[in-house]
Amino acid sequence: MPDKPNVSAPSILYISHGGGPLPLLGEPSHKEMIAGLQKIVTLVDRPSAIILISAHWETYQATITSGANPALLYDYSGFPQESYEIQYPVPGKPALARKICNILNKYGIEADLTEERGFDHGVFVPLKIMYPAADIPCVQLSLVNNLDPAKHIQIGKALAGLQEEKILIIGSGFSFHNLKAFFSPSTEATDSKNESFEQWLIETCCSHALNENEREQRLIHWESAPAARFCHPREEHLLPLHVCYGVAQSPARRVFLWEILGKQVSAYLW
């Protein structure tokens, strides 16, 4: 009788992925983030495959990349020419993509596959820092463009049913994402708003005083957090965290508190 596969719970990570390609261009305010991402890979088992939810892909239904060798999407503008020559030839994993699609559909979540979609910078920028050899197959899962926080937690709960060996699930967003504030001088008022939301997020994700229903409700109603809409005028960079929480349904560890472009941001590991 053949051995059963060594199935284990996935490692789950939510990160702030930095400003466009700047982490790969040596921009000074990303040094903490780069060091942190390099450190994070020592905190998790080396995965056999990565499922990544990026803030930079929204579709009307959950969609998964199913190409064997996805191209890179240089989905930014106004950067030096080298930004459009970055290479990260990581393979896809079509069988895993099909498995994800099936489990989402089984859970009552509309889902589809695309062989044409490439990997956006929310995928290749952090992965090039974390796993520079580009030798761990990756599939990308889209956000659903209604940006419903409860829906994204539900997607995560469906993914929790994956029976797969050593999967790493990464939510790639930004725990603070107000572009105007990034590129305006910091003030005491803006710093206070940034820090108050971060403290709320840390408490929400990590506090053992909350039960899981309370934690889920706080994430669903995240707009009630201090300075929520200042920190996230639009929530696409926060919602990858909701997917991660849906998979885990348990308290996280805040593994890093970084400063990027003058703002405090955090990373979480389950």
Q: Mean pLDDT in runs of 10 for the chain (270 residues)?
A: 53 95 94 94 95 98 98 96 98 98 97 98 98 98 99 97 86 96 92 98 98 99 98 98 98 94 95
**DSSP-assigned letter for residue 96:** H
What is the structure's pLDDT at 8?
Answer: 63
Strands (E), 123-252: 138-144, 167-173
How many residues are recorded in the chain? 270
Question: Do 114 and 65 touch, CB atoms closer than 8 A?
Answer: yes
| CA–CA dist 97, 208 (Å, integer) | 34
Helix (H) or strand (E) holding 130: helix 121-130
Tokens at 230, concatenated = 């200042």
**DSSP-assigned letter for residue 78:** S
Helix (H) or strand (E) holding 97: helix 94-106
What is the structure's pLDDT at 200?
Answer: 98
| CA–CA dist 96, 88 (Å, integer) | 20
- Return the domain boundaries, the chain: 11-269
| CA–CA dist 164, 49 (Å, integer) | 9
Phi first, then psi: give them for residue 203, nearest 5 degrees: -60, -45
CATH of domain 11-269: 3.40.830.10
23's CB contacts (< 8 A; 6+ apart) are 17, 30, 33, 34, 125, 126, 129
What is the structure's pLDDT at 174?
Answer: 97
Tokens at 48, concatenated = 């056999």
